[in-house]
Structure 1
Amino acid sequence: MPNHYYLIIPASGVGTRMHSEKDGLDWQAKIPKQYLKLDNRLTILDQTLKTLLSIDQIKGYVIAIAKEDRLFAKSTFNNHPKLLTTVIGGKERMNSVINALKELINFAKNDDWILVHDSARPCVKTSEIINLMNQLKYHATGGLLATKVVDTIKQANNNIVNTTIDRSNLWQAQTPQMYRFGILLKAFNTAIKDGINTTDEASAIEHLGLESILVKSSRSNIKITNPEDLALANFYLTRYQKTFNPRH
C-alpha cells in the first residue's frame, strides 16, 4: 500500500524582524509577515500554500496559527479541500509542529510522510519538492532541502574574528523537511522530554540519533525574514512567472 504525504505549515509567528521602519516604508503595520502582500497580490502564506497544495501527492495539510489570528479565515486556503484542520501554534516552532502532528494521528500512519514547510518560504519550486519526495521515498527516516554554503564563514566573539570555519561540509537547511510520521513524532516527544529546543525537524531527528538526507535545492528558496527579502521574493516569483508563461 503506497505511503501518503501530509503537509504541516507552522504559521503562528509574528515576524518581529520585519516590524521596523526601513527605506521610508511603514513595516509596523502589526501584520504578521506571512500575511504581507506580494506583488502578485497574494499574501506570502497564500503563495506558499498555492505552490505546495498544487502537488497531487500531498493528501492533506494542517496549519498552526496564533490564537489571536483573524487573517487566515480570509484566505481562500481556509476552505481548501486539502485542509484537515487548524491548530493553535505554540511558543516555539517545535511546539507548533508537535500540535499539528498530534492532529495528524487521526489521519497518518507511522510510515506516511510529513512535510514541514516554513510559511515564509513562498519561492520554493514544485519541481524541487517532487525531487525531495522521489529521492527519499525508500529511505527509512527522511531528509530536507538544503544548499551548500558558498560564503566564507567566520566565527566571532563580540565582532572580533576567532577563526574561519571550513565550509566544505557546511549546508544551509531549507524546507520542506520530510520525515516518516512515527519517527518525527517520536523525535519531537524525545526532545521535549529531554528539554531540547530544536529549531527545525532535522535537529529533532539528530537528537534521536538518526540520519537525515540532504537534497540539493535552489538558493532562491529564501525565507522572508527582513524587509529586503520581500523585494527579492517578488523578483524570484516574477522570474518564475515569465519562465512558465513566456508571452507575459
Structure 2
Amino acid sequence: MSTDHCYLVVPASGVGTRMQATVSKQYLQLDNGLSVLDQSLSTLLNIEKIKGCVVAISKQDTLFESSKYCHHPKLLSVVTGGKERYHSVINALNALKPFVQDNDWVLVHDAARPCIKADDVENLIQQLEGQEIGGLLATKVVDTIKKASHQKAESTVDRSNLWQAQTPQMYRFGLLLKALNSAHSDGVNITDEASAIEHMGWNSLLVESSKTNLKITNPEDLALANFYLTQTQIS
C-alpha cells in the first residue's frame, strides 16, 4: 500500500447564473436538507483515505460559515476563490503547502457534483496508486456526437475514444500546482485539472465512474440529483 496521503480541494466560489436562483448553486438545498456543497462534503470527508480538505469560496460568501462542515476536523483552510475555477484551485493548493509533500495526492472535486459516490472515489484512489501523474473519473460517451456550425450538423464525430470528464480529478500535489501555474503563465484556457496536465504534455488515467455523478448546471439538474440521492439511500 502507498504511504502517500490524499487531500481534497473543493472550488466552491462559482455563481451558477444558469440556475436562475437567488443563491449560488452550491448552496441550493436538496430534498435531504443538505446544501449541494454539504452533500458533496458529506460523502468525501467520510472517506478514510482523505486526510484533509481546503474549500475555496467567493469573497462575498456569507453562507459557508453556516455549513455543518465549516468546523469539520478535516477542514484545514477556507480560502478566497479567484475569477476562474483554476484560480480557486491554485489558491487552495497554496493553502495546502504546509500540510503536504510534493508526492502526496490531491483530489479536486466540483462543489456542484453532490451525487458523487464514495465507492467511485475509493476506486479512483486505488486505481491511481503507483501512478506518477494521476487521473480522473470519467464516463464513456454513448450518444452520437455531431460537429456543427451555426446549429447545423456538419459531420458525425467518432465516439469510440471519447470520454466525458467528471470529478474528482486526482494528481500529485507538486505536479498539479506546477501544471496549473504553467498554464496560467502561458495564458492557456484551463477548464479542469486534466487540461492543465495535458498542457504539460502529460497523460491522465481515465477511471470509469457512474453516470449519476452529474454536475448541477441547469434547474432540471437539481431534480435529477434529488432522484439519484433518493435511489442511493434506498439501495
Bin for the TM-score computed over the shorter chain: over 0.9
Q: State the match for 2:15 in structure 1.
A: 14
Q: State the match for 2:111 in structure 1.
A: 119
Q: State the match for 2:221 in structure 1.
A: 229
Q: Aligned residues: percent identity?
A: 63
Provide, for residues 160-200 of structure 1, a one-character-per-residue CA deviation record: whole Å limited to 9, x for no partner.
Answer: 11111000000000000000000001101110111112000
CA distance in 2 between partners of 1:46 and 1:149 (Å): 29
CA distance in 1 between partners of 2:142 and 2:219 (Å): 23
**Quick check: 1:94–1:197 contact (8 Å CA) kept in 2?**
no
TM-score by length of 2: 0.98
**1:90-239 counterparts in 2 under 5 A?**
90-239=82-231
CA distance in 1 between partners of 2:144 and 2:159 (Å): 7
> Which of 61, 85, 91 is the equivalent residue of 2:53?
61
Q: State the match for 2:29 in structure 1.
A: 37
SS across alignment from 1:220: coil
Letter in 2 for 1:164: T
Provide, for residues 8-29 of structure 1, a one-character-per-residue CA deviation record: whole Å limited to 9, x for no partner.
Answer: 000000001101xxxxxxx3x2
CA distance in 1 between partners of 2:177 and 2:38 (Å): 27
Q: Which runs of 5+ in 1 are unaligned?
A: 20-26, 244-248
Q: State the match for 1:246 in structure 2.
A: none
TM-score by length of 1: 0.93
Letter in 1 for 2:18: R
Letter in 2 for 1:63: V
Letter in 2 for 1:186: K
Letter in 1 for 2:51: K
Aligned length: 234
Q: CA RMSD in A?
A: 0.7
> Which of 77, 82, 86 is the equivalent residue of 1:85?
77
CA distance in 2 between partners of 1:92 and 1:99 (Å): 11
SS across alignment from 2:161: coil
SS across alignment from 1:182: helix
Q: State the match for 2:3 in structure 1.
A: 2
Provide, for residues 38-80 of structure 1, a one-character-per-residue CA deviation record: whole Å limited to 9, x for no partner.
Answer: 0001000000000000001111000000000000000010010
Kindly state the Cα deviation for residue 35 of structure 1 after the two structures are TM-superposed: 0.3
CA distance in 2 between partners of 1:132 and 1:79 (Å): 27
Task: Could you list the structure 1 runs, at least 4 aligned residues long, displaced by more than 6 angstroms after superposition.
Answer: none
CA distance in 2 between partners of 1:178 and 1:50 (Å): 19
Letter in 1 for 2:220: E
Provide, for residues 104-132 of structure 1, a one-character-per-residue CA deviation record: whole Å limited to 9, x for no partner.
Answer: 11111010000000000010100010000
CA distance in 2 between partners of 1:90 and 1:165 (Å): 35
SS across alignment from 1:51: helix
